[in-house]
Structure 1
Amino acid sequence: MKTRQIERKSLVPHTVDGITELVLDTEYIDVPQPPRDWDQLVRTAVTIGACLLVSVALVWSTSAIGGLLALSVVAVVAYAAAAAFDLTWIMCMAVEWLLRYDPKRAKIARKAGHGSLAVSMAAVFAHGYVFDQMVIGLVGASVSALAKGGWSIAMRVHARPLDPRTQQWVEARRAKVDGQLAMIPIRRDLQRGEHLVDAERQALTADSGSTDPDRSGGSADRPDRSGPSVDRRSLTTKEAVRIAWDDGIRDRDAVLHDAADRLGRPVSPDSVDRYLRDLKRGA
């Protein structure tokens, strides 16, 4: 049996002159070496070969189609546009790989990849036809087909098919997670809309109120509250913070104290900080 040597370090007690300390001790031991995983090596070789085929196909198709398009446009633009032909079906293969556990969605990417591959092969053949090199056109078009086939085989090597029940379980779980992920931008958009509505309402209220800008008689931290009284039972922390903001209070501690005074109870500093950030963004 083949063995390999590994290094192990551990703390051991060591005594000198009656004083014991823990010191680092290094030990080399032989352990059995696992057999070579030939299946994994072959799987890796197939993947590398598929990547090389795709790279060769991309270079060849770009060169051939670019030479065809260069007859009517600048060479730089022609070759940049030519790269799109093979990049399209390569991108479809990447999407198919990402959706390998979702056959319904992967089927669309597979069909789109086959269509893009056909267009790319037709363009390569057209290059040979225009330059009166039909055989080269046919052989060159087959390069992309071979690359596509090689990658499809590599994907089958890495595929892990699921039984129907497990597939349904995965789809149900994915639907719930996707719904939660989708709600993140939706909630953000709704909050943004609510802030815009609140800002519009405050602007209209300010325009319809007193036009006298002078608010003498109150300090910067404790402005005058001679306006209409607010029912504390129906007042929320968010509304109390907004009232303090409208009164010109910008200091965080002052807002916290003002909101607690209006509510008649302590308020959460985290909630006050969150509402202040929202008001500053909407300002």
Structure 2
Amino acid sequence: MSETLAVMIVYPIVEHINPFKAAADDYRAKVNRLTGFANNALKKHSNSIDENAISDYLTAFLHEQKSRNGGDGFTDPQLMRALLDFFVAGTETISTSTLWALLFLIHYPEIQKKLYDEINFISDNKESDIEWNDHTNCPYTNAFIQEVFRCRPVTPLGLQRMTAKDVELEGYFIPKGTPVMGNIWSVHHDPKHWKNPEAFQPERHLNEEGDFIFSNKIIPFCIGARVCPGEKLARMEMFFLITNLVKNFEFSSDPSSPKLPEMTDGVKGFLYTPHHYKIVAKARI
């Protein structure tokens, strides 16, 4: 399904023929369900807005909309578009990254053990749940997450942009108004920057002392003025998901399957997702 949607993004005219028409209809039905959910949330907030307590995005938007009389882009259609973007961009991407992470965990049990030992040590020492402040004390966990982002960027070609003016780049002339896409996959797998780029190696993000090395050459959220506004939230979500999953469960492959799930290839579309696979999650004692 994602592959057909990806084709329609580039060639929207094909949505009138099958199998693209069926995929487009299914996508519209999902959007309509999301729109209905967002409309209900909007009604509840509109009826109970407290201008002295800005507790979330919806309340803040409605407050600004009232103060600006609906001007400066603070309109109902703009709010609905933003809410849909939050759902699509903020859930599908992190859930897909988590699926890739779990796949790496069952392929590399020694990596899973290192993660568990680090996470368990931190949580035992503080005798409470992992908090965001703890991420500075989890170098291997950070290295693992960064390697997941590097090896399997969820959007290998990023989002489509358009040149605002004529530009020449490395001898190529790109006229104003040209759609352009950044090749994130190429950046993440460039052998000039990464030794054995196809290999999954969290240790590449640790220095000799075992400290985590943040890399600006890993750009799953794109770069520049149009970088994903939810980057910080996404990194926090990924950290909490990985630490809590590994702390509470030991993951292994389906014992009824003759081989491990496919890891070197996935479903190519607008998003790059792993093929469906089964996994065993055994609760830790």
Q: TM-score, normalised by structure 1?
A: 0.22
More relative contact order in 1 or in 2 (CA 8 Å, sep 6+)? 2
TM-score calculated relative to the size of structure 2: 0.22
Larger Rg: 1
